[in-house]
Homo-oligomer: A and B are copies of this chain.
Amino acid sequence: MFGTGQFQLYNPVRVIYGKGELKRSAEIFGVSNVLVICDPYVSSNEYFKEVMTGFNSVFIYNKIIPNPPCELIDEIIESVYEHSKGAPKFEGVIGIGGGSTLDTAKAVSSLLVSEGKLADYVEGKKKFEKRLPLMLIPTTSGTGSEVTNVGVYTLNDIKKPMTSPTFWADIALVDPVLTYSMPKRVAATTGLDALTHAIESYWATSTQPYTEGLALRSAKMIFESYEASLNGEEWAKDEMAIAATIAGIAFSQTRTTAAHAISFPITSFYNVEHGLACALTLPTLIHWTYKFISEKMDDFVRYVGFKDVEELAKRIEHMMEYSGFSLKLHDYGVKEDELEKIAKVSVEANIINLTPGNPKYEDVLEILKTIY
């Protein structure tokens, strides 16, 4: 039962999904002169030339690095102005890559028509009011950045998320063929990120029936196709691409919860990939939250096809082991006396308050000890 709640729904991104749609980029985007943001791996990839087909002029910036610093994005703007000898003539911006690249494209498309440095906006001193037309093309099946209004940028060595109405792209072009060449480890960690988005969006206290429906459907697809996608089966990679985008739409409305909050220090301190860091606490959180949302989780497991949440948690552990990941923190270089520090940083993330049962410092510490 939900009725007494209150919610807003808004996601104006046009999602276009299809195998081989990449070659229709120019037709779909409908502009002629574009700036393309990517990383060196993407621009050297076989599929990359298909992005170019059909545009009159393309300026490629391919030096994106993970967790992009604000200064890098300011440099892109300068470099673009230099290249254009004055006002840039681009009619639109394309981001093609993983989450860091798509987030960079969001910021660049806004900064190109705004005053100041990105840090002004990340710190909330200024607000973006417009941007150039923006098309985002994911090459991984995980972050969902192509369908959210969130960007994450590094400011003074700390990852800072920000939202902006200008960060909703005009078009998210999801062509699963681009994910076929993902290294297995990237497929695994980004796939676990997508699963965490689905489950956290489903149980978040900010949830609503719309996001619950998307989360249910997305989670089922991930459970059906995760292992096969790691084994290189194309149908499974296609499913993962859809599932990740739908999970992205779900958490674009709800945000995420404790698994993401706890993942931040694990990634920052021990360099554990984001999706893997999220998945580490997920099975334990499934048990921990169950007493607060048992009926709702029973609906979830029944639809997805499990007997109970015990089987759900075991299935996620199996997915991680199948991918070659340890379930235990000590295997990632975590020392037992560092668990308190991880717990402390975890509860500083506001999203932890969206977790059913609202875990406090002591709860997080207990959860961390369980998986130590």
Contact = CB atoms under 8 A, between A and B. Distances in A.
Interface in A191-211: 208-210
Q: State the copy count for this chain.
A: 2
Contact of A246 (B213, B221, B246, B305): B213
A17 B6 contact: yes
Contacts of A218: 209, 213
Given A213-B214, A217-B212, A246-B210, A12 B15 contact: no
A30 interface: no
A19 B2 contact: no
B1 A239 contact: yes
A153 B79 CA distance: 54
A242 B14 contact: no
Interface in A311-361: none
Contacts of A10: 13-15
Interface in A2-40: 2-19, 21
A227 to B, nearest CB: 14
Nearest to A238: B3
A176 interface: yes
A105 interface: no
A6 B19 CA distance: 7
B15 A8 contact: yes
A249 B17 contact: no
A215 interface: yes
Contacts of A14: 8-10
A292 interface: no
A312 to B, nearest CB: 15
A235 interface: yes
Interface of A: 1-19, 21, 176, 208-210, 212-218, 220-221, 224-225, 234-239, 241-243, 246, 249, 299, 302-303, 305
